[in-house]
Chains A and B, each alone.
Chain A
Amino acid sequence: MAGASHMLRRRCASSMANNAAKYESHKLKTPTTTASAAAAAALGGAATIPGAPAHTRTVSVQSGRSLQQKFYENRILDRYTAQEPKKVTLRQLVLFGRQLTEAKLIASANYVRSELPVRLAHRISDFQYLPYIAGTNPHLKMVYDLYWRAFDEFRKFPAIKSLNDNRRFCDNVKTNLLEHSQVIPQLGMGVAECADLVSPEEIDRFMHQMLVSRISRRTLSEQHIALSEQFDQDLRAHLGLTASEGFTEMSAAPPGFASHRIGIVRADCSVAQIINDCAMHVASIYEDAHQLPPGTAPQVIVEGHTNATFMCIPAHFSYIVHELLKNATGHVIARFASRLESDSAAEVATKPGEPLFPAIRVTICSSHSDIVVRVSDEGGGINPEMLPYIWSFTHPLKAKCLHNFHSVHRMEARVDEDDAVPPLMSFGFGLPMSNVYAKYWGGSVNVHSLPGYGVDAYVQLPRLGNVVENIANRRAHIASDS
C-alpha cells in the first residue's frame, strides 16, 4: 500500500539527481564498495563514495550553533502556543464593520496583528510533532520555514496606532498572503512523499488543521484589508479627494467620520445566484476542454427555496459549490462520453431537441438556522474502491494526482484561481478542501453514492453567521502519559 508513495519518493529522488538514483540501485546488490576503493579504504584513510555525489544522500545541516538557536528560540513559540486564539463569528465581523471609525479600524488592525502569530504558532507546533524524518522533507520544511518567518515578522510588528501604521501593516499582510500562496501545493507534495512515514489518519488530521487555520488567517487578513481599503475609499470621498491623490500625511481621519462596510462578508448572499454563477463557470470550463458547442454541457437546474439568502463569505461558499459541480459535471460527461462523438449520433438514445446529458439538479433548502444545498447528478456513482478515501488528503490511489502538484507553484483554493492552475487538473483535493471550508464555519459536506446511477452531495452551512470559527489548538502531546 505504501509502495506507491515509496515510489513517489524514489521518483522525486531521481528527478533531483539522476546519478544518485542509479547509484541507489547499484547499491542494492552489493553493500560493499568496489575493490579499487577498498585498497584506499583499508589504509584507514578517508573513503570516498564512487559515483554519486555525497550531497544527494547526505545533507550537511547548518552548523551546530544555528541548530541550537532553532531549538532554544522555540521557547518564544511556547509562549504563543500557550495562548488560545480569539475566535470570531461572521456576525461579529459584520457588526464590526457597520460603524467603522478610525479607532475601530485600528483596533481591528491590532487584533489581526496579535491573532496571526498565535494561530501560526499552533500550526508550527503541529509541524514540530511530526516525526523528525518527515520534518526534513524539503516541501514540508519550506512551509515550516515560511510559517516561522511570518510568525517572527508579525510578532515583532509594533502596535498600530495610526492610519499610516495601518496602511504599512496592510502592505505587510498582503505581501505575506502572496508569499503563502505556494503553501497548498507544497503541503500537497510534502504529505504525498511522507505517506509511509506517518499514518494516514495523522496526515489527514494534520492537513485538515493546517488548512482550516490557513483559511482562518486569510479570512482575518483579507477582511481587515478590505475594511481598510474601503475605509480609505470612503475617506477620500468624504474629503473630496480623487483616487490618484495620495494622502500619506493623513494619518488620522476627521473626528466623527465612519464608514459602513462589511468587507468580504455578505449578510444576504443569494444562494441561487452563487450556484448559477458557478454553474456557468463550470460549464464553460468543460465546454472548452471537450470542445463542445456552448449550452451542451450538462445543465444545472436549481430548485427549492430559490430565494434563500444567508450570511457567508461568498468566496468560501463558491469554492464548495464549484467543486461539487465540477465533480458532477465531470462524471456525467465521462459516463455518457459516447454521446460526445458526433459520428455516433445515430446511436444516441436521446430524441432530437433533448439535452445531450442528463441534468444536474441542485436543491436549496433553507431552515431557520441552516442552509442545505443538495447536488444530485447521474454520473454513475463513485468507484467503490475509492469510496473510503474520498475525504483523505493522501492515499496511494491518489498519489498519482498529488504528483500534479509539481506542476503548479501557487494555489489559493479559490474559484477565481489565476492561470497558474489549470482548472481541470486533478489533485485529489477538491472534496477534502470543500470539507475544510464547510467545517470552518461549523457546517459539513456529505456525499452519498448510488452505484451505477449517480451521486448526491449535501452541503450544510449555518445561515445566521452566529457560529464561532472552528479552529483547533495544537495537539496536546504531553498531556497524558498514555
Chain B
Amino acid sequence: MNILLRPAHRCAPWKRLLGSLRKSSDDNNSDINDINDIIVGDNTSSIDTLGSPAPWKSMPSDAPPPLGQAHIRHCMDPCLASLPPNSEPSFYACHIDRYAAMALQPITLHRLLHTGTPPLTRERLLANAQYLHKERPVRYAKHVKLFQQLPFIVNLNPNLHALYTAYYAHFEELRQQPEVRTEEDQNAFVAMLVRQSDALCDIMPGVARGFHECRAYLGAAARGRFLNELIHKRIALRLLTDQHIALHRQLTAAQQQQEQGCGIAGAADQRLQGIIDTRLSLADAVRASAQEVQAACELTYGDAPAFTVDDHTGACFCYVAPHLDYVLTEMLKNAFHASVQSGHVAHSVEITVAQGAGRVAVRVRDSGGGIPREIRKRVFDYAFTTATDQADVGAPPTDAAFGNIAREQAPIAGLGFGLPMARVYAEFFGGSLHIISIEGRGCDVFLELPSIEQSKARKI
C-alpha cells in the first residue's frame, strides 16, 4: 500500500481538524516555514517623518480604516470577474488542503514593530510585500478550511456561504498574483490589499445573522469555538495587511516630502510605526473612550453616571490603537449600561490604570448591581444578550444609538457579539479580559495587555 509522502508536521488529518477546532488558534505553531524572514534594516539612520504621525485617534483621512471601522461598504470586486460568483472549491481539489497545511509564524507585537522600525526603506517594504505575498494565500486557505469544518447545514446558510465563497475567491486571486519585484508591482500589490481588505471589512453582521438562523443546528459551544477561531484568524490577517498598507503610505508620504525638498525633520522617534502607536497613553485612551460612552449613554437613556480615571503611572506603551479602543469601549458600555439600568447613576464608574512587570492594566469598576449567577457563565457566549430576544434579527435593536458609538460594532449592537469579540482582541497579543461580579454591588472588569516599551522595541 502506497503511503503518500506528506510534510512532516501533518499529523493524522482528522485529528488535527478536530483538534484545531478545540484549540484557540493554530497560529501558535512556531515551526519554521519556508517563508523568508524580513531583512533587518539599518537602525542608525533616521527617517523623514513629515506628514505623519498623527496622534492615534486622527489618522490621515486617506488612510485605510484600520481594522474594521464601521462604515458599511459592500464593494463588488471587479477583478474577481475571472471566477464565477459563488464559486467554491470542488471536493477533489486538494490545493486548499495543501496551503492550509503550511505552518505560519504567529503574529506578535515584536514582529509587527520589526516591520515598521525606522528607517523605512523601499527594499524592506519590498521584502515585506514578498513575504505577505506568500503568507496571505495560506491564511485565506485556513479561513476556507475553517468553514469547511462546519456542519453541512450550517455552511449552507446563505450568509455564511457567501463569506465562505468570498474567502475562496480571494484565495484564488492571490494564488494567481505574480511576485512583487518592482515599484509598480508594489503599488499594484498595495492596491489589491486595499481592495481585498475593504471587501471583507464588514462581515460580522452577516455572520451574526447566519448563526442566528442556524441556532437550531449548532450549539453555543461549537458556535463559540468557531467564532473565536474565525475572529482570531481575521484579526491576524488584517493586522498583516493593514500594517503593510500603512507602512507603504508612510513611506510614500515621506518620499514625497523628500522630493519636494522639505528637509528631514529630525524625528528620531516616529510615534507611529504603521498601525502601531509606540507612545500610546493608556489614560488618554481611557478618558477619550469614557467620554464617548458617557455621551452616547446620555443620548440613549437620558442619564449617565460620571466617571473617574485614576492613573498614577502615566502608562505609555506600544499597541494597536483601534484594538484598545474597541475593548475599552465594550467594557465601558457594559459598565455605564449597568449603572443606568440598576438606578445607581449617582455612583460614578471608577476606572483605574496601572502598569508594571511588563504589563499594563485597566480596571473598570461599576455599581450596576453585578451579573446574576445564572447568566454569569454565558456572558462570553456569542449571540447571548440581555437585550430582549428578537425573533427577527433584522429589526434594529432599541439601543442602537448607544451601540453606534464604537466604530466596530454599529450594525451588530445588541446581538451579543461585543464582549466575546472584545475578549478575542484582548487575548490576541497575550492579554486577558476578566469579569468579576459582586452580586448586589457591581462588576469589576480587568483588562491586561502586554507592554513593550518603545526603547526595547527600537533595539530589535
**Interface positions of A (Cβ within 8 A of B):** 1-4, 6-7, 9-10, 12-13, 16, 20, 24, 27-28, 31-33, 35, 37-39, 41-49, 54-64, 67-68, 70-71, 74, 78, 127-138, 193, 196-200, 396-397, 400, 477-482
Contact = CB atoms under 8 A, between A and B. Distances in A.
A338 to B, nearest CB: 27
Given A41-B176, A42-B185, A136-B88, A67 B79 contact: no
A16 B18 CA distance: 29
A3 B10 CA distance: 11
Nearest to B191: A44
Contact of A198 (B14, B88, B184): B14
Contact of B94 (A13, A49, A54): A13
B81 interface: yes
Interface in B196-251: 213, 216-222
Interface of B: 1-4, 6, 12-15, 17-18, 79, 81-95, 98-99, 134, 137, 147-158, 161-162, 164-165, 168, 172-173, 175-179, 184-185, 188, 191-192, 213, 216-222
Contacts of B85: 60, 64
16 contacts: A1-B12, A4-B1, A12-B92, A16-B92, A31-B175, A37-B178, A61-B86, A71-B156, A130-B152, A131-B150, A132-B152, A133-B91, A134-B152, A137-B91, A197-B14, A477-B222
Contact of A197 (B17, B151, B213): B17
Nearest to B84: A60
A38 to B, nearest CB: 3
Nearest to A400: B1
B4 A481 contact: no
B155 A61 contact: no
Contacts of A3: 2-4, 6
B178 A33 contact: yes
Contact of B95 (A27, A67, A482): A27
A132 B148 contact: yes
Main secondary structure of the interface of A (DSSP, over half): helix
A46 B81 contact: yes
B2 A13 contact: no
A28 B98 contact: yes
A478 B217 contact: yes
A78 B217 CA distance: 10
B151 A128 contact: yes
Contacts of B12: 1-2
Nearest to A480: B219
Contacts of A28: 98
A71 B157 contact: yes
Highest count of chain B CB atoms <10 Å: which of A37, A62, A135: A135
The 8 closest A-B pairs by CB, nearest first: A38-B178, A135-B152, A57-B93, A128-B153, A133-B148, A13-B92, A132-B155, A46-B82
Contacts of B149: 131-133
Nearest to A21: B92
Contacts of A396: 1
A130 B88 contact: no
Nearest to A27: B95
A92 B319 CA distance: 73
B88 A74 contact: no
Contacts of A70: 156
Contact of A131 (B84, B152, B191, B218): B152
B178 A478 contact: no
Given A131-B17, A197-B13, 13 more contacts: A3-B6, A12-B92, A13-B92, A57-B89, A57-B92, A58-B83, A58-B93, A64-B162, A127-B152, A131-B151, A132-B148, A478-B218, A482-B219
Contacts of A43: 188
B158 A64 contact: yes
A14 to B, nearest CB: 9
Contacts of B83: 54, 58
A426 to B, nearest CB: 15
Contacts of B219: 477-482
Contacts of B178: 32-33, 35, 37-39, 41-42
A27 B157 CA distance: 32
B93 A60 contact: no
Nearest to A478: B219
Nearest to B158: A68
Nearest to B137: A31
Contacts of B177: 32-33, 41, 47
A479 to B, nearest CB: 8
A132 B145 CA distance: 10
Contacts of B2: 3-4, 7
A10 B90 CA distance: 12
A128 B217 CA distance: 9
Nearest to B175: A31
B91 A397 contact: no
Highest count of chain A CB atoms <10 Å: which of B15, B156, B192, B220: B156
Highest count of chain A CB atoms <10 Å: which of B85, B149, B178: B178
A135 B164 CA distance: 15
Nearest to B165: A61
Contacts of A193: 91
A64 B87 CA distance: 11
B157 A60 contact: no
A94 B361 CA distance: 76
